[in-house]
Amino acid sequence: MEQAAPDPERLWQPAPLEPLSHPDAGLESMVGEETKGARDEGPGDGTMTENNFSLKKIEISVSEAEKRTGRNAMNMQETYTAYLIETRSVEHNDGQSVLTDSLWRRYSEFELLRNYLLVYYPHIVVPPLPEKRAEFVWHKLSADNMDPDFVERRRIGLENFLLRVASHPILCRDKIFYLFLTQEGNWKETVNETGFQLKADSRLKALNATFRVKNPDKRFIELKHYSDELQSVISHLLRVRARVADRLYGVYKVHGNYGRVFSEWSAIEKEMGDGLQSAGHHMDVYASSIDDILEDEEHYADQLKEYLFYAEALRAVCRKHELMQYDLEMAAQDLASKKQQCEELATGTVRTFSLKGMTTKLFGQETPEQREARIKMLEEQIKEGEQQLKSKNLEGREFVRNAWADIERFKEQKNHDLKEALISYAVMQISMCKKGIQVWTNAKECFSKM
Amino acid sequence: MGKLGEAGLAATAGPARTLGMEGECRASQARSWGLPAGGAGGDSPGGDAPLPGSISSSSLLQAEVLDLDEDEDDLEVFSKDASLMDMNSFSPLMPTSPLSMINQVKFEDEPDLKDLFITVDEPESHVTTIETFITYRIITKTSRGEFDSSEFEVRRRYQDFLWLKEKLEEAHPTLIIPPLPEKFIVKGMVERFNDDFIETRRKALHKFLNRIADHPTLTFNEDFKIFLTAQASEFSSHKKQGPGLLSRMGQSVRAVALSMRGVKSRPEEFMEMNNFIEIFSQKINLIDKISQRIYKEEREYLDEMKEYGPIHILWSASEEDLADTLKSVASCIDKCCKATEKRMSGFSEALLPVVHEYALYSEMLMAVMKRRDQIQAELDSKVEALTSKKADTDLLTEEIGKLEDKVECANNALKADWERWKQNMQNDIKSAFTNMAEENILYYEQFSIRSP
């Protein structure tokens, strides 16, 4: 699909994708500054020569979150959280960064941005936003959107989203995205003015297409299955992980009771007293260590969640393909039937039922002149139809090619990220065990001195 | 277990075993156990300080096979010596002179000198028209002279154990009798004869008998001997003897009335003891609850983990590049499950029974305290009677004299047994918790070795 966005003021060179293992660290995007006139926006047409660019790095970070109150669309008071987005440009030579833009956005604006991207880049697997409401919580974790831990994790998630978009070779060039980062006031109006909501495919249309399409590309069918499986397995995993976390929390915390009771008991003991007391202290340490451990695990869960939501983005691309394919098939069918009609009129045979045929029978034959006129009209329609079919075909193929390129890119990103996430999870477990060994070794020493 | 031989009993032939006889009667020379000189069995570390009721006594108790080296001459010598003393416990009515009692009474367990080995196993279900019950097989091996044979096998049911405990309490009101496992299931279980419940009870009963066997006084109790050796019919006829129901009821009514008085005139050291008992009881019961709770939480954690691993395998089926990583995460989780199971079983074998036993012990301690108070109260009431009524002074004085003996006996017995009990407790608790810590260390080490 053509990029409908108007020419951006700056053309950003696609950035090398970087792993997001530390979402807190501002990711750096390579920004290429275009020399005037050498713009080239054809999708897939990578003729931009590097000589034309002086490379500038930019850093994006969502650095703060703030609670605000305001009036909503229905003039009712509401509380919401606003996030500070800071953009810095880094001079390649000296590495110093200069703050170029900073503005506040709330979650709904991020949603707006994403919806816009979905409409204008249907062949791209658009990065997902962090969850709207807390899900897969275990009992201690709050499900409240205003909870500071939730807000903090959301802040990180939003930053991650922006960095993903900024490092995407195609999405990073979008002007609306650029304005999102740079133009605080009026941005919403600007987005709405693009009329993207009107261009969006209706859900109903898409559903219809999914059921009726006859010949979708097999790869997309497989991809849809894969994304369904991915979604189901990751949700299951997250659910069980939450339960495991809950239980682990229980085990650790109950040990804390030992601490209190040992300490009280030590008061009546002479020889055992010291040992009991200090062992009790270690039990307290053990019990409180679980809080940090599980906080780190939440981060792992968030990494998995991102790919859970990515599954939906994959499905969106598949749906678009199905829609286009269905559209194509319908157009072809329509053309075929028009051709047939034309043929029938020309040869005078009526093979299929037509309203015209019926009315002719009822109300009398039409004149040769009328028939000629109709044939002519049909011929014109057929010509138009053939052209349309040709361009639809072209579009369809173009779409498949571009989409598949992005999907390949996505696959690599996914494999890399998830592998890292799993490994870091294992590392977390190791560190948890090391702590455990330490605490229990200390406790054992105390016990043996009793 | 050939320690008995190694212990060089010849070296310790001098000191006889401590024979604390009290209850309400005869007091005899109570001497401390001689330390096994030098050639102490390999198990007792550093021969200097006594290690009464050391950890080894608990591990002894749980050892399945307790072979007696019957061809040890030393043992023969030893038992012959023992048989020279009158060791049987006796009816509560014989008076005794306190003068022959030494104040310094120390009860120490000498695992090296153990000559009575008891195991409780093979629970069997019996169904009659009236009821269903379980009997346990009790095997006793001994080298003691007063036993007719060296090996005995009998079957007893829980009721019989209850009977034994009551008899011991009667005979030795101020000795700390080991606790029996609960009569009824506390909560949660539906079937009365659930396998886990039976096994737990069996272990506790085994512990119970061995604790009695290790007790320097209780081990020579006649009812205990009969319990271990009498066949079914002989045993049931023996049970029927003894004070009848009515007289026992009468005794307990009196006892309640008296116990209140006894509290007021409690000597200082027993006040301290009582204070300890109250607080200890509170704390140990809490620890019992906490420990049970930890076990429960770990069990639930394990259940969730068992579901956690396979999900990764499922996922690996739809991935190519990630499949290997996912599979190895799954196998790590699996190993974690196994390690958790091991940790749990260690916990339930080493810590839970010990803590629970001491929670039950705390009830025993309170009962002992009460009984001591009762005996004191009896004395006090007679003294009061003496000062108020002037009649029958002679009779009263004589009675008081006897009661004073009785009180002194009781107090000394309790004191001695208290020290012994405390030492045991300390060791048992220490080893139980050290064990738990060790298990936890192993658990974490297990897990961390395997991670990619």
- How high is the ipTM of this complex? 0.79
Residue A32: Cβ within 10 Å count: 19
Q: Are residues B188 and B280 in the same domain?
A: no
> A370: closest CA among A356, A353, A384, A385?
A356
Residues 6+ apart with CB under 8 A from A321: A216, A217, A220, A399, A400, A403
Chain B window 50-89: which residues touch A at a Cβ cutoff of 8 Å? none
- Residue range(s) defining the domain that contains residue A240: 1-44+200-450
Q: Which residue has the tokens 């930053």?
A: A159
> What is the arithmetic mean of pLDDT over A198-208?
84
Rounded Cα–Cα distance for residues B243 and B250 (Å): 11
User: Does any CB of chain A come closer than 8 Å to the CB of residue B150?
Assistant: no
A85 located within any domain: no
B77 located within any domain: no
CATH number for the domain spanning B287: value is 1.20.1270.60
Q: Are residues B311 and B175 in the same domain?
A: no
Are B121 and B54 a contacting pair, CB within 8 Å?
no
B137 located within any domain: yes
Rounded Cα–Cα distance for residues B140 and B124 (Å): 18
Between B194 and A209, name the one with better pLDDT.
Answer: A209
Whether B46 shows a pLDDT value over 70: the answer reads: no
- pTM of the predicted model, to two decimals? 0.73
Q: Is A132 marked as binding a ligand? A: yes
Query: What is residue A352's predicted lDDT score, i.e. its pLDDT?
Result: 60
Query: What is residue B69's predicted lDDT score, i.e. its pLDDT?
Result: 38
Q: Are residues B220 and B287 in the same domain?
A: no
- Phi, psi dihedrals of residue B351, rounded to the nearest 5°: -95, -50
Chain B residue with Cα closest to A443: B437
Counted domains in chain B:
2
What tokens does A338 get?
A: 């028009």
Q: Are residues B359 and B441 in the same domain?
A: yes
B14 located within any domain: no
Query: What is residue B172's predicted lDDT score, i.e. its pLDDT?
Result: 87
Q: Are residues B320 and B374 in the same domain?
A: yes
- Give tens-digit pLDDT for A306-316: 999 999 999 99
Could you tell me where the DSSP H helices lie in A140-200?
A: 148-166, 175-182, 187-193, 196-199
User: Does any CB of chain A come closer than 8 Å to the CB of residue B301?
Assistant: yes
A151 located within any domain: no
Burial B14-53, CB ≥16 within 10 A → b, else e? eebbbbbbbbbbbbbebbbbbbbeeebbebbeeeeebbbb
Contact A436 B294 (CB under 8 A): no
CATH number for the domain spanning A420: value is 1.20.1270.60
A97 located within any domain: no
Residues in B touching A279 (Cβ below 8 Å): 433
Domain end, chosen from B238, B272, B300, is at B238
A367 located within any domain: yes
Counted domains in chain A:
1
A270 located within any domain: yes
Between A142 and B449, name the one with better pLDDT.
Answer: A142
Torsion of CA A279, A284, A286, A290, to 10 degrees: 170
B322 located within any domain: yes
Q: Are residues B183 and B293 in the same domain?
A: no
Are A149 and A142 a contacting pair, CB within 8 Å?
yes
- Residue range(s) defining the domain that contains residue B274: 262-448
Residues 6+ apart with CB under 8 A from B222: B88, B89, B90
Residue A216: Cβ within 10 Å count: 20
A231 located within any domain: yes
User: Does any CB of chain A come closer than 8 Å to the CB of residue B324?
Assistant: no
Query: What is residue A196's predicted lDDT score, i.e. its pLDDT?
Result: 86
Between A275 and B2, name the one with better pLDDT.
Answer: A275
User: Side chain identity at A335, as an amino acid letter?
Assistant: L
Q: Are residues B326 and B425 in the same domain?
A: yes
Q: Are residues B293 and B223 in the same domain?
A: no
A160 located within any domain: no
Contact A433 B286 (CB under 8 A): no
B27 located within any domain: no
Residue A116 burial (C-beta neighbours within 10 Å; 0-12, 13-18, 19+): buried
Rounded to the nearest angstrom, the gap between the alpha carbon of residue A72 and the centroid of all alpha carbons in its chain is 26
What tokens does A305 get?
A: 């969640």
Q: Are residues B416 and B277 in the same domain?
A: yes
B186 located within any domain: yes
Whether B363 shows a pLDDT value over 80: the answer reads: yes
Domain end, chosen from B188, B204, B238, is at B238
Contact A240 B308 (CB under 8 A): yes
User: Side chain identity at A206, as an amino acid letter?
Assistant: A
Chain A window 210-249: which residues touch B at a Cβ cutoff of 8 Å? 226, 229-230, 233-234, 236-237, 240-241, 243-244, 246-248
Q: Are residues B230 and B359 in the same domain?
A: no
- Give tens-digit pLDDT for B135-176: 899 999 988 888 888 898 999 999 899 999 999 988 888 888
Q: Are residues B172 and B271 in the same domain?
A: no
- Give tens-digit pLDDT for B416-444: 888 888 888 888 888 888 888 888 888 88
User: Does any CB of chain B come closer than 8 Å to the CB of residue A441?
Assistant: yes
Query: What is residue A113's predicted lDDT score, i.e. its pLDDT?
Result: 93
- Give tens-digit pLDDT for B183-222: 876 565 555 567 888 888 999 999 999 999 988 888 888 8
Q: Are residues B336 and B385 in the same domain?
A: yes
CATH number for the domain spanning B224: value is 3.30.1520.10
Whether A136 shows a pLDDT value over 60: the answer reads: yes
Helix orientation angle between B158-171 and B222-229, rounded to the nearest 10 degrees: 160
Going from the C-alpha of A22 to that of each of A19, A163, B451, the distances in angstroms are: 8, 12, 22
Query: What is residue B254's predicted lDDT score, i.e. its pLDDT?
Result: 63
